[in-house]
């Protein structure tokens, strides 16, 4: 694994521990994190097509593993889809890939992005930070795991509102204090190639 790819994974783990789990933005994340059931993969793709190929590979890998070993995957793309609107369009393509692989109803894909913006909000609205990750990230989830988590948390529909309240109380200064941004020297590629090609996915166990 390249040092830069390791930094991307480390940044993502810090964000998960301090923001997602630390602020309890997702009450289901701590369990799979503690059990080591989150798989991290860094895509070195520089084009949407290359990232789509990496995504399809990770989707197949996830369903091939027992959930007790790999329950969910974070596919991180540090050098692709820096523009949130482009990323948002890609998430629609990702959902199409689920259908093509006949995995719709088995897996779900959620998008996280450094510039994530909910409809009807300003770009600097603190509530957007509930879905802001250090790098463009695709979260691959099992439908069965989602159903079990919701059953264990009967008021799951209140999570969104609670998260908005949490971020309002934290404020921009509080978010900065968490130290969950990307490290200096990332993304993996410092400049885009004139003719980018597909690149391998760098994986971390499990």
Tokens of 11: 């940044």
What pLDDT band is residue 201 in, cutting at 50, 70 and 90? very low
Number of folded domains in the chain?
1
Distance CA(91)–CA(74), nearest Å, equals: 14
Q: Compute CA 24 distance to the chain's CA centroid, rounded to the nearest angstrom.
A: 16
CB 27 within 8 A of CB 153: yes
- The pLDDT assigned to 78 comes to 95
**Predicted confidence (pLDDT) per residue in 110-132, tens digit:** 999 999 999 999 999 999 999 99
Residue 102 or residue 181, greater confidence? 102
Residue 138 pLDDT greater than 80, yes or no: yes
**Predicted confidence (pLDDT) per residue in 36-90, tens digit:** 999 999 999 999 999 999 999 999 999 999 999 999 999 999 999 999 999 999 9
Distance CA(173)–CA(162), nearest Å, equals: 19
CB 94 within 8 A of CB 141: no
Average pLDDT, the chain: 88
Tokens of 191: 């400049």
- The pLDDT assigned to 190 comes to 38
- The pLDDT assigned to 202 comes to 46
What pLDDT band is residue 1 in, cutting at 50, 70 and 90? low
Give me the domain span that covers residue 14: 3-204
**C-alpha distances in angstroms, 40 versus 11, 37, 60, 171, 190?**
11, 10, 15, 29, 21
Instruction: Assign 10 to helix, strand or coil.
Output: helix
Residues contacting residue 129 through CB under 8 Å, at least 6 positions apart: 19, 116, 167, 175
What pLDDT band is residue 186 in, cutting at 50, 70 and 90? low
**106-121 as b/e: b if 16+ CB within 10 A:** ebbbebbbbebbeeee
Distance CA(106)–CA(103), nearest Å, equals: 5
Flag whether the pTM goes above 0.85.
Answer: yes
The residues facing 112 across adjacent strands are 137
| Among 120, 165, 139, residue whose Cα is nearest residue 12 | 139
Tokens of 188: 């993996």
The residues facing 109 across adjacent strands are 140
Distance CA(37)–CA(20), nearest Å, equals: 16
Residues contacting residue 191 through CB under 8 Å, at least 6 positions apart: none
Taking residue 31's Cβ as centre, other Cβ atoms within 10 Å add up to 14
Residue 13 pLDDT greater than 70, yes or no: yes
């Amino acid at each position: 694994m390249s040092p830069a790819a390791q930094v991307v994974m480390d940044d993502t783990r810090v964000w998960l521990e301090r923001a997602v789990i630390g602020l309890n933005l997702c009450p289901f994340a701590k369990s799979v994190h503690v059990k080591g059931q989150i798989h991290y993969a860094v895509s070195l793709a520089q084009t949407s097509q290359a990232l789509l190929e990496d995504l399809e590979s990770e989707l197949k890998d996830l369903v091939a593993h027992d959930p007790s070993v790999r329950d969910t995957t974070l596919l991180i793309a540090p050098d692709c889809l820096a523009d949130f609107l482009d990323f948002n369009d890609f998430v629609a393509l990702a959902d199409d890939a689920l259908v093509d692989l006949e995995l719709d109803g088995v897996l779900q894909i959620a998008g996280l992005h450094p510039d994530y913006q909910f409809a009807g909000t300003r770009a600097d609205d603190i509530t957007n930070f509930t879905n802001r990750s250090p790098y463009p990230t695709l979260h691959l989830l099992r439908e069965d795991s989602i159903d079990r988590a919701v059953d264990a948390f009967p008021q799951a529909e209140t999570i969104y509102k609670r998260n908005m309240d949490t971020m309002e109380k934290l404020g921009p200064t509080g978010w900065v204090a968490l130290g969950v941004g990307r490290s200096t020297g990332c993304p993996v590629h410092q400049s885009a190639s004139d003719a980018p090609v597909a690149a391998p996915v760098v994986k971390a166990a499990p």
